[in-house]
Every structure is written in C-alpha cells, then in structure tokens.
Amino acid sequence: MSRKEQWSEGEDKILSSTVQQFISKNKTKKAAFLEVSDKLGRTEAACAYRWNKVLKEKQLQKNEQPQDVLHEDSPKLSIEKCIVFLENLKDSANDREIKKLQIEKDNLLLEQKRLKTKLKNLKEKEIKMKQMLAILKEAEELNFNTNKISKSVH
C-alpha cells in the first residue's frame, strides 16, 4: 500500500459512516477500520488515527456526540448520578453484609441457647451422680460395719 497524504471529504464520509454502522451493530471499531482500509487503500492504523484524532474531534466541535462516546438511546450520565449509583451500590452491599451478619448472629444465639440447655442438663446429672455416689459410699460403710459386727459375733 503506498502512502497517501490527504484525506478527501468522500473518504472521511466513508470512514465515518462505516465506523458508525459497525458501532450501531455492536461490532468493534477495529473491524470497521480493517474494512475501510481495504475500501480506501489506507492502513488500518491510518483509519484509526483519522477517526480518533480528526473525525471524532470534528463531531465534538459541532456539538454532536459520536456514537461510540454516547449512544443516542443511552441516558446521559453525570458525576452526581454516578455518585448516587455507587452510594446505592455500597448501601446495598452493606445491607447484604448486615443481613448476613444478622443471620449469623441468630444462628449463634440458637447455638448458645442449645449449649446452655445442654450445660444445665449436665449439671443436673452431675448433682444426681454426686447424690448416688454419696448413697453408695453410705451403703458401703453400712455393709462394712455390718460385716464387722457379724465377724465379731461369730
């Protein structure tokens, strides 16, 4: 491909309409530059440069937004809207985290209640076991004393 210096108005129109067409079909600008480069006999890089540094700038100067900067059907964004969106996103993330922590807290409280009940039951069993041990010791002592008396009688 030989080097071409000047861009004609017709070449600019072909480049611009092809890029706009590709963008509207959600295709890449790179694919548009490749197609236009074949049509115009220019390099892909030259087409990309012309679009990005000249044609897009001309559209901006005319107060027209190029389609790849802002689609006609897309809402205009402002810094304030972005901040509100991000704050809402943060709040919703915080709400999810709070809900998750609340569920975890509830589960821990249930586990604590279960363990307290288990501890109470174990303490009651310990008291009963101590009572039974005391009874057994008393019975053993009585048995020992009974044996002593019966040996002394014989």
pLDDT value at position 113?
96
Ordered alpha helix ranges (H), 42-78: 44-49, 56-61
Q: For residue 130, is it within any domain?
A: no
Residue pLDDT tens, the chain, 154 long: 556 779 998 999 999 889 888 888 888 999 999 999 999 999 999 999 998 888 877 766 664 444 444 444 445 667 877 887 787 777 777 788 888 899 999 999 999 999 999 999 999 999 999 999 999 999 999 988 888 777 777 6
Q: What is the rounded radius of gyration, in angstroms, for the C-alpha atoms of the chain?
A: 44
pLDDT value at position 75?
56
User: For residue 43, what are its two tokens?
Assistant: 């390099």
Q: For residue 133, is it within any domain?
A: no
What is the residue whose two structure tokens read 């590709």? Answer: 22
Q: For residue 132, is it within any domain?
A: no
pLDDT value at position 140?
92
Q: For residue 100, is it within any domain?
A: no
Q: For residue 25, is it within any domain?
A: yes
Residue 44's domain spans which residues?
1-76
As a dihedral over the C-alpha atoms of residue 88, residue 93, residue 97, residue 102, rounded to 10 degrees, the angle is 40
Please state the domain count of the chain.
1
Q: For residue 110, is it within any domain?
A: no
Q: For residue 150, is it within any domain?
A: no
Q: For residue 58, is it within any domain?
A: yes
